[in-house]
Structure formats: structure tokens, C-alpha cells
Amino acid sequence: MHASSPLGVAAGVAALATSATPCVRYPFPSPHVSPTCSGQTMLNAKQPHTAACGLTRGRCRPGRQSLIVRNALAVDLTAFLKKLCKPSPATHDASYAKKIMADEAQYVLQTYARAPLVLSHGLGSKVWDTEGREYIDFAAGIAVNALGHSDPRWASALVEQADKLAHTSNLYHTAPQVELAKRLVTNSFADKTFFCNTGTEANEAAIKFARKWARAGIDPYDPSATAPHELVSFTSCFHGRTMGALALTYKEQYRTPFLPMMPGCQLATYNDLESAAKVIVKGKTAAVFVEPVQGEGGVTPATAAFLKGLRKLCDEAGALLVYDEVQCGLGRTGKLWGHELYGVEPDMMTLAKPLAGGLPVGAVLLKQHVADVMKPGDHGSTFAGNPLVCHTACTVFDVIADPSFLRSVNAKGERLRAALRRTMGNNPHVKEVRGVGLLVGVQLDMQAGGVVNAARDMGILAITAGKGDVIRLVPPLVITDAEIDTGAEVLGKALTKVAPA
């Protein structure tokens, strides 16, 4: 969080609630707070938290301090949150976490290898488990919680819209969807937005758009008519788990149990134009899917020559260039869009993870020539672009798109890489510290899982990537310098513990 960021004129703050705890209320009038609360209580005044104060609606969590700030003007949010960020007490004893994990095993389909902790609440870049242990969150829900946990602007937008209208389906118009689309289009290469709910759905939609675009010269409704339909993706890529996106995804262990895959997919080597040229073929290829910076694949940026070359190959072959910016888009690289690092525009771009700061959302941004082929009924989703998600996403977008915020992401990324080189670089198991912005990877010459587990025991949440040999760090974009330094230090200690130099 850049310290000078104003909250914005009407940005209210609502978060950090508690049950048996006092309400700390600030002197800003709120449309949601009853007259007993409205503008009457001065800063730091404490009163018992009661139903009458209007702060109970869905915002109270055990073990938390409670705060409501509405219509705040130019508040220094960092200082504001620091004041409130007190160690959180345990909400339960150890037996509670054990019971949750046992019930999870019994009732939830076992498709995840979860870490053995039960998270209870978060604030900024910190989360606490149910036993009161504090963690600095360098995972951020896999690059999702861009504004951290319980960001007051985010929470306020969510509550504000929940109070009005959460969901309508796409049978009707709603303003928040249009507002979000307007932001995405006016701040990118694109002319249109399509909304969905996840990253894999965004890629699934882009596959359909590409296939229909490629059939534009023929009668698209003639089942006997053929057109270019092949899709190209790259080694180490990750595009999602549903059948279309999965067919583009690299890792065989994700694909093989679900064979046969969608036909017509070609694989080339990432950052290797010669390899790409062999499979991007005029009359065959409909679209090329590429991540400007690979995340899951190991935190690997594309080279500028590669993306420029792909653009040329696509233009020559009459194919679409599609960027998957589900992980690297929207500020994570220190640019609004990852591809701005390269100055090469796509025909389509897929987005998801950070877009609504923790609510499920996905989007495809399209150039007009692609948008032109899609007609009502060609694609859709019940939940997509609902007012709750879109209104909240507008708030996330407005914070991230601020150039000074993006500059701060860049500076934090530099700081994190420098700190990691300092604390881990001397260990012979570290081959490279790399990445852009706050998408950072530490390449090891061994499996990274042991280090990630040891770091977790010491209060740092991180994830792996690549072949399991990369420590991936994708913290909230609002992480503080002190948290970065602590994280790097603890990761250094965790590595020494697991693999002494």
C-alpha cells in the first residue's frame, strides 16, 4: 500500500469486526449505520457493540477488533490499519482445527492436498489460524487477494452492493457490470468485455470465441463446413482444469487421467520462436494462447522477442493471439497488464484471480473484430458479471490502476527479490531468484515443498511452482516493506533448516 494513497472521496471503510468486543467508531456519517452511530462518536471512542449500533450485520467475527469508517476523505490507510493490527487471539483450541480437518476429509471431495491449518481471519497481508497463530501471506489465495485481507475499501464496496442487489442473471441490465467493463476497455487494448467466473472459464470462453472467429468466412452453422480450428499453447503453461483449457495446459499429470482431450491442440516450446513457427500454420491455426509471464509453470517471464515474434506469426497465419493474464494481469507485474512489459498487444486477453479481490470472477477482453462474430445465445453464464462481484471489482480496479500504486508494486517486487538474494542467495541449492513485480520465484535445485512447509511453521505462507522446484511468492500487492523483509528472512532460515549450505 503506498502510504499517500487517498481512499477516494466516497470510499467507506468497514471491516475488522468482533462479537464480544467493542466497536471503535469514527466520526463519518454512514447510510448504513443507525442514527445512534451516525457521526456522533469521536475517534477512538469505544462503546459496546450492539445491534442498535448498526455494525452487526454480517461483519462480526470472533476475536477481532471492530471498526467502521464511512465516507472517509484521504485517509492514510497504512497507518490506519497498522494502528488496528493487533495480534489476534485464538478463536478456538487445537481440537477445533482437528475436527474441521477430519470433517473436511469425510465430507469434501478429496481433490486438494491442503496444508494442515484452518485459517480463521485476515487483515492486510496477515492471516491467523483458529489457534491464533499469525502468518504473513505470500500466497494470497494464489495471487487473488490483491488488496490483502479485509481491505476496508473492498469490504465497504461489497457490503454496499450486498445491501442493494447481489444477483440478477444476465437476463437484465445492471450498472456495476457496465461500470467494470468500461474500466477494463478504456484502460486496455480491448473493445469489449465478456464476464465469467474463473480463470479456466475465461480461457474456455476465449477458445469458443477463437473457434467461431475462425469460422467467420463460412456459414458457422453448417456442420460440414471446415475452418482453421487448431489452438497452440506452450511448455509449462497453465490455462485451467476444464476440458478445453485443460487440453491447452502442459502438465501431463493434469491431463492424462481425463483422456481423451479436446482434439486440435498443438504444443510448442515457451520462449522458442522456431518451435512456435512449426505449429502456427495458415489455414490450420485459429489461436495461440500464451502467458506473458508464466506463474504456475515456474514464474518465467516471456522474452520480448518471443511475444513480438508470436504476434508476427499469428498475423501471417491469420490466427488470433490470446494472452492468458489470469495470474500476471491487473497490477501483479507492476504494470496494469503483464503484456505492457513487452509492448505487444493481443487480440484477446483472459483475466480472473485478482479482479474482484477475492470474489469469483473471470473476464475475456476482446478486440472488435473478434467481438463481431459473437451473437446473443453463443455463450453465457448464470452468475457472470453479477452486480455484487462487479461493484467490488470496480473498487479493486480503481485502487490498482492508480499509477502510483503500480509503481509501489514494482518497488516492492525489487525489494523482495533483493531481500531473497540476500537471505537465500548464498545457499548452493538456490539457482535463481526471478520474476517481475510481485510475481516472484526462487528456483531451487531440489523440491521446494520442504522449504514451504518449514516456512509455514515459522509463520510464512508460500507456494510452489514449476516442477515443484520453485518457491512462488505472490503476496497481496499491499504488502509492507517490513513484511517483505520478514518473509525473506524466514524463507532463508527455512531453506537453511531443510538444506543447510
Binding site for ligand PLP (CB under 6 A): 142, 198-200, 203, 238-240, 291, 295-296, 324, 326-327, 352
Smallest separation (angstroms) from ligand PLP to the CB of 76: 33
Quick one: 129 or 296, whose CB is closer to ligand PLP? 296
Quick one: 12 or 240, whose CB is closer to ligand PLP? 240
Quick one: 251 or 415, whose CB is closer to ligand PLP? 251
What is the spatial distance between Cα 340 and Cα 320, in angstroms, rounded to a whole number? 18
Q: Residue 318 carries which side chain, given as an amino acid letter? A: G
CB 119 within 8 A of CB 129: yes
Task: List, as one string, the DSSP characters of 180-204.
Answer: HHHHHHHTSS-SEEEEESSHHHHHH
CB 192 within 8 A of CB 44: no
Quick one: 65 or 203, whose CB is closer to ligand PLP? 203
Smallest separation (angstroms) from ligand PLP to the CB of 436: 14
Helix orientation angle between 152-162 and 77-84, rounded to the nearest 10 degrees? 90
Quick one: 24 or 322, whose CB is closer to ligand PLP? 322
Smallest separation (angstroms) from ligand PLP to the CB of 491: 21
365-378 burial, b at 16+ Cβ within 10 Å, e below that, comes to bbbeebbebbeeee
Smallest separation (angstroms) from ligand PLP to the CB of 300: 12
Quick one: 296 or 469, whose CB is closer to ligand PLP? 296
Quick one: 118 or 359, whose CB is closer to ligand PLP? 359
Quick one: 113 or 171, whose CB is closer to ligand PLP? 113
**C-alpha cell, 252:** 501431463
Quick one: 96 or 383, whose CB is closer to ligand PLP? 383
What residues form DSSP beta bridges with 366? 192, 348
Smallest separation (angstroms) from ligand PLP to the CB of 184: 17
Residue nearest to ligand PLP (CB): 199
Smallest separation (angstroms) from ligand PLP to the CB of 329: 9
**C-alpha cell, 236:** 509449462
CB 146 within 8 A of CB 1: no
Strand residues in 107-216 grouped as ranges (E): 119-123, 126-129, 134-137, 192-196
The three-state (H, E, C) secondary structure of 308-321, written as one string: HHHHHHHHHHCCEE
CB count, 10 Å around CB of 22?
A: 13
What is the spatial distance between Cα 300 and Cα 320, in angstroms, rounded to a whole number? 23
Angstrom CA distances, 392 to 7, 57, 153, 166, 418, stand at: 15, 18, 9, 11, 34
Smallest separation (angstroms) from ligand PLP to the CB of 267: 16
CB 34 within 8 A of CB 52: yes
Among residues 225, 220, 198, 194, the alpha carbon closest in space to that of 379 is found at 194
Quick one: 13 or 336, whose CB is closer to ligand PLP? 336
CA angle 283, 379, 203 (to 5 degrees): 60
Smallest separation (angstroms) from ligand PLP to the CB of 362: 7
CB 310 within 8 A of CB 342: no
Smallest separation (angstroms) from ligand PLP to the CB of 466: 13
Smallest separation (angstroms) from ligand PLP to the CB of 179: 22
